[in-house]
Chain A
């Protein structure tokens, strides 16, 4: 499948040698081959997108390129010479720098320390020259067009600022090959634009960029070359100009793509769960950012929640779920005030929050798929305090099947799953609660197009059954596609509430920035 003839792009141009290439690269985990004989070329001054569904092997490939893991077979060529990359340091010494799928800044250190962490700097060996450090950091950030306060711990900066620090870190290491694994997953569209501008500048400067993303529009706006992987195999590599998102999707899933966003059925909700359908109402809810928000979500309604990062979207969900204590206001379910109840109590009442961060909030990484799904359902899968393994197993199998979770078995630790499949486990775990009110915080982050479509269908199906759904998303098309109504938050307040049918990307974006549409 990966014969040279099919690599039309590189072959037709017949130009200079690649900076980085792989030859029949394979990776096995135990008996499972997750990457199989992949040969690729990455050129200077070129943005090369890697596409493929969840678990296709993109991150695995990238980890080998960066020296994080060793290939099982095949080789990696840097400037035409086969190299063994034994560590990330090794990769960096060849100018290969990767920004992993989950950024790894030290949250307590500032930008400058993070940028130069692990780098031997000229001059004194023992003492840190703060001034020089700050000056150099500022210079690097300026090359990226960024002004980031150096005295703020990285953990408190916005997602895009953190990405920029990670990029500056790569620049400080003289990256000739820059690898980005889903860098925009945690960014809003505006922030993503900032990142793209920087990447284009780096491309002009001759950096080879390897880019992984599930957001195909951005890929095709950005990339020069696209490669599709399917089940660990190379399907094709083409110049981006000679292919399209639809082609890519068809190759990624091995069939023609269907419609992404579902039809909205309108009908009387008929919820067969304990308690029946119930409307959610919040009155003047206040938290750290949230400064008094009132909303009503009737059963069967999907409310999308838009807004910029830091506008209070996640906090709104956390306050409704009881994951965070409010500073004021009330939460009502079916007319009953449940503000006094804590998270567990609200969960029993049917309010279920699917949190945003899968690693830190959603999963116990070392535990199995089954145990993670069971965790939110321990009380329901037990009698007299004794857990029923067989019921847990049955539920996990059912969910793994319906969400098409790719794992060797439901006993596999989730840390071994691909990012998108981990996200599906988080969804499975909370859907198993049979919610009456479902709060979804960035539910499709890192999930491939095919599965996204299925998750949207699922949301609509739940709504048709009478569940009230709130979806927070940074992707406005997603809000438009799945929600009935869109509430936009701006600095902790409701900036507007618009029906999805009449809203446009522009009108929502305008509300995000609080301009009248």
Chain B
């Protein structure tokens, strides 16, 4: 009919131009390149220590618990919110589980109780955000504060020791050569990947994060969808708290607090890889990789841990601004 308007085809194909696209491409993959660069850097600097299967397992083990929190933080950030309470909640669940165990509860029941606590806490966050219309920032900042307070109250501010071996296995055991926390984290990451990319729920999460009004007018139950994301993050935070408690063989009221900022940073690093500006599990994995390799490499190099923190902050700023630059001029 109209020669120039073949449907779903390039308006004109005769012209090709690849100038500006190569640097732009590189910049948008900057975060991935950054990970590769870090690996090369540490491999060259400390080949005998860094580039070994043992160290690789080490890195995975070090980031396993962070990976659990980050995977669920990804879900909340897909929906366009944050969950600032994940760290505090993980600590709280750690304390509760540890106390139940010390009181002689069966480990399976204690773990179930811990997960249930997380689910309930997630429901509170979700209700505040999606049914009472509080901003996620305020709501989870408030619950974060309360969760920390609760954890301190319950534990009297001290560490809970004396956990049974069968429970400690969750944090310190191995399945063949693979540490149990790594298995748990991998399983969760795979599950979240599946839900995000293959299911109707995942599509609804992305749609609500992309344009809540358009999602609503498409028949999506926006409130329920946001609520469900917080259920996931609450439960995931609880899982992280349980594994951490097992790994440390003790429950401490602030043990997991630092996970929150690191998880958000890792998701942000991942977002730099995404075209739509929304998180993906793949991107999150790269973000986690950067965090893990960086801290492991710097440890191997025996860099002062304060300096490590400064460097981590700088790297995050660098990666995020690189990807911004690539987006600016289109």
Contact = CB atoms under 8 A, between A and B. Distances in A.
B200 A386 contact: yes
Interface string A1-45: 000000000000000000000000010111111101000000000
A120 interface: no
Nearest to A403: B7
B125 to A, nearest CB: 23
Contact of B8 (A253, A347, A407): A407
B325 to A, nearest CB: 15
Interface in B210-226: 210-211, 213-221
Contacts of B291: none
A404 B7 contact: yes
A338 interface: no
A254 B2 CA distance: 7
Nearest to A29: B330
B156 interface: no
A367 interface: yes
B203 A405 contact: no
Given A231-B12, A232-B12, A31 B17 contact: yes
A450 B3 CA distance: 13
A69 B214 CA distance: 28
Nearest to A30: B21
A401 B12 contact: no
Contact of B200 (A29, A323, A379, A400): A379
A408 B6 CA distance: 10
A353 B8 CA distance: 25
Q: Which of B8, B203, B207 has most A Cβ within 10 Å?
A: B8
A394 interface: no
A375 interface: yes
A406 B11 contact: yes
A69 B275 contact: no
A354 B198 CA distance: 27
A375 B218 contact: yes
Nearest to A389: B198
Given A230-B4, A363-B211, A355 B217 contact: yes
A28 B211 contact: no
Given A29-B330, A32-B10, A386 B215 contact: no
A413 interface: yes
B211 A365 contact: yes
B200 A375 contact: no
Given A367-B206, A385-B200, A386-B199, A405 B7 contact: yes
Given A231-B11, A413-B275, A406 B5 contact: yes
Nearest to B277: A366
B330 A69 contact: yes
A408 B9 contact: yes
Interface string B176-219: 00000000000000000000001111111011001101111111
Contacts of B213: 360-361
A403 B214 CA distance: 21
Interface residues of B, number: 44
A387 B199 contact: yes
Q: Which of B1, B12, B206 has most A Cβ within 10 Å?
A: B12
Given A33-B17, A344-B219, A401-B8, A362 B204 contact: no
Interface residues of A, number: 59
Q: Which of A367, A408, A429 has most B Cβ within 10 Å?
A: A367
Nearest to B198: A386
Contact of B210 (A231, A355, A367): A367
A477 B21 CA distance: 46
B216 A371 contact: no
Contacts of A401: 7-8
Contacts of B206: 364, 367, 371
Contacts of A323: 216-217
B15 interface: yes
Given A29-B330, A371-B203, A362 B214 contact: yes
A378 B15 contact: no
A55 interface: yes
Nearest to A450: B2
Interface in A83-138: none
B304 interface: no
A406 B7 contact: yes
Q: Which of B18, B198, B219 has most A Cβ within 10 Å?
A: B219
A255 B329 contact: no
A447 to B, nearest CB: 13
B212 to A, nearest CB: 9
Contacts of A406: 5, 7-8, 11
A72 interface: yes
B156 to A, nearest CB: 45
Given A343-B217, A379-B200, A365 B210 contact: yes
Q: Which of A253, A254, A366, A385 has most B Cβ within 10 Å?
A: A366
A296 interface: no
B2 A31 contact: no
A107 B19 CA distance: 39
Contacts of B48: none
B2 to A, nearest CB: 6
Contacts of A32: 10-13, 15
8 contacts: A30-B21, A36-B15, A254-B3, A343-B216, A360-B214, A365-B210, A408-B9, A409-B8
Given A344-B221, A364-B206, A367-B276, 19 more contacts: A30-B17, A31-B17, A32-B13, A231-B11, A344-B220, A353-B217, A361-B214, A364-B210, A364-B215, A376-B218, A386-B200, A387-B198, A387-B200, A387-B202, A401-B8, A404-B7, A406-B7, A409-B8, A413-B276
Interface of B: 1-5, 7-18, 21, 198-204, 206-207, 210-211, 213-221, 275-278, 329-330
In the A-B complex, the 3 residue pairs with the closest CB atoms = A33-B15, A364-B210, A231-B4
